[in-house]
Amino acid sequence: MRVALIVPFLDEAGHLPALLASIAAQTRPPDLLVLVDDGSTDASYAIAADFARRHAYATAIRLPVRAAAADRLAAAHELRAFTVGVAALTEPWDVVAKLDADLRLPPRALGGVEARFLADPRLGICGPRLRTIDAAGRDASHRTRPEHVEGAVKFYRRACLEAIAPLPPILGWDTIDEVRARMRGWRTAGGDPAEDPVLHVRPMGAHDGALRARVRWGRCAYGYGEHPLHVLLVAARQSRERPVVIAAAAYLAGWSLAALRGAPRAEPELRAYVRADQLRRMARRAAGRPTRPGSGPRAAPPDGSRSVRTH
């Protein structure tokens, strides 16, 4: 199995050296690594180019500097840069990962992910366990469902990625990818609690504030079609998080504003799948029964020989 890594980055001179050092220290090194500079104005590209000169499996690409935007994540430039990196893979590959630049990989991370793909032919998207730490070194991780793969470090089986592409360059694309995969019969899985975690050294909102990040989170939920009842349940959970109440209000504001403005959304079939799945989860939870991932409309097998049915 050939494993490729794509690292899109923008002005990450402070974090990129540590990530690259952790990649170089892997017990199972990557077969290919594409470092995509998405228009940095600091020393990021020089760092990437120097690493590529010293490691035969690595390539550095530089994209033009973009004009400043009110929200640098709204147009999904990270997805666009990832797509450029995938297109630059000139050798055969079986699995490709998108890695954020502010990660630190434990030495056995790539070997562990490869073993999971080899053991499960239906596994389409997976990722190692992620542990987020703040500037003071405190654990700032958040709980996720077992089938959810954190966007900061996400591995795709090639056949799965090709089955769900092209992904829409909108907020929420890194949830839309997983839902599409499950709709097409693939399994998605987050990290194993027993494995060494990947460190994420920049918590949500560290770029532009936690409240703005929660507004964006609400916009993402609108984009992939989260059910309004589920939106309210998520907001209720967030009302207990800091800043108390305001966090929930920011999330609801993001979802509501996206709805009022008619923000771009995923395809209707996917939104229907998401809503059906969430309603089933809520019903099972209300009945005191364990929830199950992907319990929405019937999915096709991974070869795509049957169409997805929605109801």
Facing residues of 132 across strands? Answer: 200
Mean of per-residue pLDDT scores for the chain: 89
Q: Residue 120: how many CB atoms within 10 A of its CB? A: 13
Query: So where are the chain's domains?
Result: 3-200, 210-261
Residue 143: pLDDT band by 50, 70, 90 thresholds?
A: confident
Q: Identify the weakest region by mean pLDDT among 36-50, 76-90, 140-154, 198-212.
A: 198-212
Q: Give whole-number Cα distances, 121 to 104, 108, 256, 267, in Å.
A: 28, 21, 40, 27
pLDDT of residue 113: 97
Q: What is the pLDDT of residues 196-239, one digit of tens each?
A: 999 999 866 556 667 888 899 999 999 999 999 999 999 998 88
| Full DSSP string of the chain | --EEEEEEESS-TTTHHHHHHHHHT-SS--SEEEEEE-S-SSSHHHHHHHHHHH-TTEEEEEPPPPPP-S-TTTTTHHHHHHHHHHHT--S--SEEEEE-TTEE--TTHHHHHHHHHHH-TTEEEE---EEEB-TTS-B------TT---TTEEEEEHHHHHHHPSPPSSTTHHHHHHHHHHHTT-EEE---TTSPPEEE-S-TTTTT-HHHHHHHHHHHHHHTT--HHHHHHHHHHHTTSSSTTHHHHHHHHHHHHHHHHT-----HHHHHHHHHHHHHHHHHHHTT----TT-SSPPPPTT--SPPP--
Residue 24: pLDDT band by 50, 70, 90 thresholds?
A: very high
Q: What is the pLDDT of residues 159-187, one digit of tens each?
A: 999 999 999 999 999 999 999 999 999 99
Q: In the chain, what percentage of residues exceed pLDDT 70?
A: 89
- 189 with 126: CB under 8 angstroms? yes
What is the fold of 3-200? Answer: Spore Coat Polysaccharide Biosynthesis Protein SpsA; Chain A (3.90.550)
pLDDT of residue 310: 28
Burial (0-12, 13-18, 19+ Cβ within 10 Å), 210: middle
